[in-house]
Structure 1
Amino acid sequence: MQFLPHLDNHTATAYRHPMKKWFSMLLVLLLFCLAGAGCAVRQPARVADIRMLPQDAGVYLAHIKGPIFDPARQAAYFQQFKDRFFRPWHRTDPKHSAEIVFSGLKKYRLKSLYGENNLPLSPDFLDSMARQSQPDIYPLRHQPAITVTHAAIRVFPTHKPVFFGPLHPGRGFPFDMMQNSLVPAGTPVLVTHESKDRLWALVETDWVAGWVRYQEIAAVDAAVMADYSAHPLAGFRADQVPVIPEHSPPVFSGRVGMALPMKEPASDTGFVTVLAPARNHLGNTELVEARVRDHGIQRLPFPATPDNFAEILNALMGQTYGWGGLYENRDCSALIQDVFAGFGLPLPRNSKDQADFGETISLEGLSGPEKQSLIRTQGVPLQTLLYMPGHIMLYQGVDPASDQPVICHAMWGITTRPPFSTRSGRLVVGRTVITTLEPGKEQFPRVQPQDLLVEKLTRMVLLN
């Protein structure tokens, strides 16, 4: 009989149960790997649609002949666009009541709020924002103004982010609940209020209201308004188009969805002359003449041809998703608004309002295949928006290879159901892409059928 050497109790236990020892080591290793994964670089989602479908809008529009919109209808839309663009300068009262403008002060008290360090915000945060916002004396100002840079419109007068839940998909970064929208440089606004420290102005366009830093705007007088309104508007065909004043450095770049007055059309030198607003040392507007390469700008509205739509969409394809215009990027409704602005359509800013813009066809109560069939038969490429609560998409037509409806949209991600977890996750796409209505379908069971876009669609919107 073989005897074990003399061992103390701890050593003997480990010796008698080697599997327990190895299990402990594996558990520690697993926890280490999971902790490391939390700090690892997140890789972009490998969605089959994005790999397989050409990310070129022109591929799906090549068969379309003639204008996308009836010219008379487009002209009527563009008149509405101009009226809405300049309307803030001609209001005698604020468009929005105090109850609407300061609704966040009440609504956010019902939420758990987190800061940029993923820790809960101080209980005093909302009280400090209320003191800064001065809701009891709204409206304090009535001053026509203009944005002199691409201005971030904030819910409260702060540049600090606020998140609803850092560990929950769609509630942490980049979903900063303070980010309302982005307003391009050169946009007429009305200042209706200011913060207690006088560093922030509450402004409104015809489609959004919120707080901007004073240095992002400049006051306008009657002479500036008359000069700015006297010229035809021009729009940009791409982002990051240099706008170069004649005797000073560039003040901002042009971007799709933005409009500036065109003082002189393209010359032999290949430049268009526009009026660019700049803020002087007194906070007032000076209009400076600036040059823009003629291939990057065109008089509004652009001819509504398939080629023009393809060029604009392709200029934005693959761009990073930007909640509320964060970092000057686009979310789903900003993409739709900016693309159609170039063609003179005055679409609202958020997806719910956009879904009410045209003639609607309900998709509720239909199965996924029934929805796809209805979209194929009644949807018109580039004239049809597809809506689900919280997301909106542009119908591109049918993929020639698969006969599936395809869409262009700025997409954050696809809902996932990780095994052994009660929480949903996200397969992050995070950019503007062309997909079918079932991106991520191949990821089953990680992506469940009920989480596919087609199952969530509730409405089809016909713009023409």
Structure 2
Amino acid sequence: MNKLYVSINKLPPLFIVLFCVVSLFIFAFLIVCSAEASGADKNVSGLEFMSQSPFCTISRDYSERLISEEKQMACNRYFDEKFFAPWSQDKPVGGVDLLLWGFRAFSRRKVFGENRQPRSREWFGVQHDNASIESFGTLNRKAISVEEADLRVFPTQDPLFYSFDEPGEGYPFDYLQNSTVQPGEPLFVSHISKDGMWAFVNASTASGWMDIRRLAWISEAQIEEWKKHSLCVVVKDNVPLLDSEGVFYALSKVGTILPISRDRTLADCYEVLIAIRGSGGNALFRSVSLDKKAAVAKPFPMTKWNAAFIASQFIGESYGWGGLNLKRDCSATTRDFFTVFGIWLPRNSKAQGQIGQKIDVQNLSVCLKEKRIKEEGIPFRTLATMPGHVMLYIGEYYGMPVFLHNVWRFRFLEEGKEYSHIVGRAVITPLNPRIKSEKGELIETRIGERVSHFVILGDK
């Protein structure tokens, strides 16, 4: 021990400092890689032993780019074009069919309310009347979201469920929950509901009925003012937007985009613009501060470390179908992940599987799919898609390809009968996680079998 003490003290001071820094980094990295998601699931093979830290899938040069700067900036320009598209509209997209599809889809089958009682014909009639279909496309006004908000299929907060007795149905699958918008999103309003409480809006990724109190009318001059600034994007969840006096305006999540009015370098924060609802529902701009630990200039450089950091923000988040309860489902998770890096994704899993560079694997075994993703997939840029679900490939864990996804349940067959194991949160799993039966046997979930394509993003 004394010899070691003497030998270290004979080393140059700079070497000692570097040695300490590297040692602390390695120690911290090992802690991160040993971390499990809160409430690790001992019944799912993969969650029982697998680290729930995306940092454990990266190695070597952590600053290495996963996409060139040139490509990323091209993607970001396309992203901004799509994001601001509602402010370039002069009529609603999709036509009246976009307004009516829910009535056609749900009025034909038995559906239920929150009290588990069937929805009546009268209830559907009330919703149809309030939708004021004859007014579709008569207002055609531009707006901006002033806080986080739901987009609903009907102009109501009433939920609509399929039979609670069917596997995988009931809560949280409220089929009137279409999507959500974040504070500061461009909107185009087709018309207002008969009761005046709801606006039918086109947002950049989805359409639906929005509580009118959560939007404000915006003028062309205000749009130009908003768009002339550089943009920042929030990189941590549930960041409150507060003014200098501590007044709360809205809650921001990973992927919220706001214009930078001032870069306060010495204070290590951005002053950003938010919109509030003023007199007559017209937009007023306010300035709030965002710590640079919570927001970065958009797009965030897509390096290995940055990708792992953003992915880590989703781990353990509760499942929220269509953004229910301001949570995420599988496709909202992937969309918000790529938003930070300026890479555009549509809202639902089916649409996400139809863009990018597609690798068809639907006729391959699970083993061959794993081999293919390891050979051709790019970590943090590749989706695994299947009917009704999407996952983000984040690299290898001890040679095994692993995926980040927010999943409600794993389905499996036991003695010819289908069962469900509820996960209900964002997790990292192998391609084909297995479930422990009551007898202690491991049963395949068959997720891997259902994967039909891998999709590589970021080449647009």
- The equivalent residue for 2:8 is none
Q: How many aligned positions are there?
A: 418
Q: Which amino acid aligns with 1:413?
A: R
Alignment partner, residue 36 of structure 2: none
1:461 corresponds, among 434, 455, 459, to 455
Report the equivalent of 1:19: none
Contact 2:42 2:48 in 1 (8 A): no
Given that 2:193 and 2:199 are in contact with CA atoms closer than 8 Å, whether structure 1 keeps it comes out as yes
Residue 411 in structure 1 maps to residue 399 in structure 2: no
**Residue 316 of structure 1 aligns to a residue in which SS?**
coil
Kindly indicate whether the alpha-carbon contact (under 8 Å) linking 2:434 and 2:443 is maintained by their aligned counterparts in 1. no
Q: How does 1:368-383 map to 2 (within 5 A)?
A: 368-383=366-381
CA distance in 1, matches of 2:318, 2:189: 31
Match of 2:291 in 1: 293
Say if 2:259 is the partner of 1:261: yes
* Kept in 1: contact 2:43–2:435 (CA 8 A): no
Contact in 2 for aligned 1:415/1:427 (Cα 8 Å):
yes
Do the aligned partners of residues 352 and 246 (structure 1) sit closer, same or farther apart at CA in structure 2, a change above 3 Å counting? Answer: same
Q: Which one of 87, 90, 94 corresponds to residue 88 of structure 2?
A: 90
1: CA distance, partners of 2:264 / 2:337? 23
Q: Is the 8 A contact 1:60 1:399 kept in 2?
A: yes
Counterpart secondary structure, 2:114: coil
Residues of 1 paired with 2:265 and 2:352: CA distance? Answer: 38
**Equivalent residues of 2:41, 2:48 under 8 A apart:** no
In structure 1, how many angstroms separate the alpha carbons of the residues matched to 2:125 and 2:420?
34
Residue of 224, 227, 232 corresponding to 1:226: 224
SS at match of 2:121: coil
- Maintained 8 Å contact 2:242/2:289: yes
Q: Alignment identity in percent?
A: 31
| The one of 47, 58, 69 aligned to 1:61 | 58
Give deviations 1:298-335, integer Å, cap 9, x for gaps: 11000111111111111121110110001111000000
Provide structure 2 residue ranges, at least 5 long, that are not aligned to the other structure.
1-38
Match of 1:360 among 358, 373, 385: 358
The answer to whether the 8 Å contact 2:197/2:212 transfers is: yes
Is the 1:416–1:447 Cα contact (8 Å) retained in structure 2? Answer: no
The code of the aligned residue for 1:79 comes to: R
TM-score, scaled relative to structure 1: 0.86
Aligned-partner Cα distance in 2 for 1:90–1:444: 57
Deviation at 1:371, TM superposition (A): 1.3
Describe the superposition over 1:21-40 as per-residue Cα deviations: whole angstroms up to 9, x where unpaired: xxxxxxxxxxxxxxxxxxxx
What's the counterpart of residue 193 of structure 1? Answer: 191
SS at match of 1:88: helix
Alignment match, 1:102: 100
Deviations 1:90-132 (A, max 9, x none): 1111111101221111111222110001111122122211111
Is 248-257 or 214-223 further displaced after alignment? Answer: 248-257
Structure 1 residues 401-459: Cα deviation after superposition (integer angstroms, max 9, x where no partner): xx22100011111113466x85x33201111110001222444988754x421111101
Cα drift, residue 50 of structure 1: 1.3
Q: Which moved more, 1:102-111 or 1:147-156?
A: 102-111
2:46 — aligned with what? Answer: 49
What is the distance in 1 between the residues matched to 2:162 and 2:331? Answer: 21
The Cα of 1:270 is off from its aligned counterpart by: 2.7
1:45 Cα deviation from its structure 2 partner: 6.9
- The alpha carbon displacement at 1:75 in A equals 0.7
> Where does 1:56-455 land on structure 2 (aligned, <5 Å)?
56-63=53-60, 66-247=64-245, 249-400=247-398, 403-417=399-413, 424-443=418-437, 448-449=443-444, 451-455=445-449
State the structure with more CA Rg.
1
Q: Match for 2:197: what amino acid?
A: L
Contact 2:412 2:446 in 1 (8 A): no
Cα deviation, residue 252, structure 1: 1.0
Question: Would the aligned equivalents of 1:45 and 1:428 in 2 still touch at CA under 8 Å?
Answer: no
* Aligned residues: CA RMSD: 1.9
Shift of the 63–410 alpha-carbon distance from structure 1 to 2, 3 Å rule, reads farther
* 1:377 CA displacement: 1.2
Structure 2 residue identity aligned to 1:61: I
Matched position secondary structure for 2:48: helix
Paired with 1:247 and 1:304, the residues of 2 have a C-alpha distance of 35
Q: Does the CA-based 8 Å contact 1:441-1:452 persist in structure 2?
A: no
Check the 8 A contact 1:140/1:194 in 2, yes or no. Answer: no
Letter in 1 for 2:265: S
- 8 Å CA contact 1:151–1:212 kept in 2: the answer is yes
Q: Report the 3-state secondary structure (helix = DSSP H, G, I; strand = E; otherwise coil) of the residue aligned with 2:280.
A: coil
Alpha-carbon displacement from aligned partner over 1:47-100 (angstroms, at most 9, x marks no partner): 231121111101102246510112111111100111111111111111111012
TM-score, normalization: structure 2?
Answer: 0.87
Match of 1:10 in 2: none
Aligned residue in 2 for 1:33:
none
1:21 matched residue in structure 2: none
Shift of 1:206: 2.4
